[in-house]
A and B are shown apart, each in its own frame.
Chain A
């Protein structure tokens, strides 16, 4: 029940000086907390960036590894291709040399070039021409040379010359 004509003035335990002091400290504390909060946020963002960078680094590492393996594969392929190319050149030279070896009087009908050997099919007017003009150079190239002759109706001989290079000797090359 209100009996008083006026309302009491609001009371406070804090004097004006104290209020000023509290305000000052409150502002200071507020600023400190604000700075602390800002630093926490920055720290959080930094950690986030760091984690992202670490992840990125790992991704790069993985991709580098992949690229390395790809490079290695390509290098291998390159080496292989070079080898194949070299082999092909060697083969081409060998074939070229082979055909150079074959004298004009002997006719080759078929040639099978294998890894360690060469099988020649052809006709020769006689065995001597073959033996002296073809077998002799072949023997100088191959370790083992086997020749088979089949007489033809016209007096010529069909021959099969099988030539091998031994594995150990091949390695030496």
Chain B
């Protein structure tokens, strides 16, 4: 009784943590009587709980006794399945935390990872741990109800992919984007250090996806090699003259990484969709469109790959993951 009265007197602080591969974002919202009165965001160049992040979180927590720390689960063992009852036919539920949504579909994660996460943040105290699938479902709520489509939440190093048909989940997979092989990076560096580095730059810049054969079964990076083969010296020269761009070595590295990353993402999405088509467990149907929740600022390359290689209608919608996390946390608490 007294607790309820006190709760109405105090403001609520929602602290939302998004842990990425290279940085972590802490988004703090101060809510009074259901309205956001203040919000701030801070980025930390770490994927663990650093001392700076810890002190920032402590300061945020000290703002109100009614604080709720939410985090987005990035366990690699998470996913979602299109049932609430017959879970065993899809996954081994032992050691998993499952949550049923609308008596229709279930998202799950590893209990061990939840335990590890809670252990890591034990000095702060985690209150809510959300699945990216729940964020995705909330974010595309208007589209999920309509027709058969792929829905993907793209984070820095993870893709939460799901297929919904009129609000019913057909397939879902949580994909961890593999980091570039160290050897590959070294190889790239050595090539970039060569005298004919311009050639390399242009080779990569001049990938012409229009010329790619969409009917090919692209399942690996071999296809990427094919794309590289498409370029020619003439093309390179023309492109170079037309663009007249002077690039530094760092910019080149970033570009290469972007292209590789986007292509990686494309390949992973394509592989996942292929698994959906071929796995008998799933009631597969032909997919025509994909809705992408972009939390990292994708280049147009991925969209281009998806459109041209898989003939998908691609809709990219920007998502502020930390704000969505806060929104779902507020919905959970208020």
Any B CB within 8 A of the CB of A5:
yes
**Per a CB cutoff under 8 Å, which of A4, A12, A13, A14 touches B130?**
A4
CB within 8 Å for A12 and B332 given contacts A3-B99, A5-B97: no
Binds A, one of B60-68, B82-90, B314-322: B60-68
Chain B residues positioned under 8 Å from A12 (CB to CB): 3, 6, 65
Count class of interface residues, chain B: 20 to 34
Q: Is there an interface contact between A4 and B332, defined as CB atoms closer than 8 Å?
A: yes
Nearest CB in chain A to that of B128: its residue: A4
Any A CB within 8 A of the CB of B109:
yes
A2 to chain B, nearest CB (A): 7
Any B CB within 8 A of the CB of A110:
no
Q: Is there an interface contact between A13 and B10, defined as CB atoms closer than 8 Å?
A: yes
CB within 8 Å for A4 and B65 given contacts A11-B7, A12-B3, A13-B10: no
**Per a CB cutoff under 8 Å, which of A6, A8, A14 touches B114?**
A6
Chain B 66-89 per-residue mask, 1 if CB under 8 angstroms from chain A, else 0: 111010010000000000000000
Q: Give Cα distance in the complex from A131 to B67, angstroms.
A: 142
A121 to chain B, nearest CB (A): 114
**B binding-site residues for A, Cβ under 8 Å:** 3, 6-7, 9-10, 65-68, 70, 73, 97, 99, 101, 109, 114, 118, 125-131, 134, 138, 328-329, 331-333
Chain A residues positioned under 8 Å from B65 (CB to CB): 11-15
Chain A residues positioned under 8 Å from B129 (CB to CB): 4-6
Any B CB within 8 A of the CB of A104:
no
Q: Give Cα distance in the complex from A15 to B131, angstroms.
A: 32
Q: Give Cα distance in the complex from A11 to B333, angstroms.
A: 12
Q: Is there an interface contact between A5 and B67, defined as CB atoms closer than 8 Å?
A: no
**CB under 8 Å from chain B, chain A span 128-173:** none
Q: Is there an interface contact between B67 and A11, defined as CB atoms closer than 8 Å?
A: yes
Q: Is there an interface contact between A9 and B125, defined as CB atoms closer than 8 Å?
A: yes
Q: Is there an interface contact between B99 and A6, defined as CB atoms closer than 8 Å?
A: no
Chain A 1-33 per-residue mask, 1 if CB under 8 angstroms from chain B, else 0: 111111011011111000000000000000000
CB within 8 Å for A2 and B332 given contacts A8-B68, A11-B65: yes
Chain B residues positioned under 8 Å from A3 (CB to CB): 99, 101, 130-131, 134, 138, 328, 331-332
**A binding-site residues for B, Cβ under 8 Å:** 1-6, 8-9, 11-15
**Per a CB cutoff under 8 Å, which of B6, B9, B126 touches A6?**
B126
A13 to chain B, nearest CB (A): 4
CB within 8 Å for A13 and B6 given contacts A5-B114, A6-B129: yes
CB within 8 Å for A13 and B128 given contacts A2-B332, A5-B114: no
Nearest CB in chain A to that of B6: its residue: A13
13 contacts between A and B (CB under 8 A): A1-B331, A2-B332, A3-B99, A3-B130, A4-B130, A4-B332, A5-B114, A5-B131, A6-B118, A9-B127, A13-B7, A13-B65, A14-B65
16 additional contacts (CB under 8 A) given A6-B114, A11-B7: A3-B101, A3-B130, A4-B70, A4-B99, A4-B127, A5-B97, A5-B109, A6-B126, A8-B127, A9-B125, A11-B66, A11-B67, A12-B6, A13-B3, A13-B7, A13-B9
Chain B residues positioned under 8 Å from A8 (CB to CB): 68, 127-128, 332-333
Q: Give Cα distance in the complex from A8 to B10, angstroms.
A: 17
CB within 8 Å for A5 and B333 given contacts A11-B67, A12-B65, A13-B6: no
Chain A residues positioned under 8 Å from B114 (CB to CB): 5-6
Chain B residues positioned under 8 Å from A1 (CB to CB): 101, 331
Nearest CB in chain B to that of A4: its residue: B128
Chain B residues positioned under 8 Å from A4 (CB to CB): 70, 99, 127-130, 329, 332
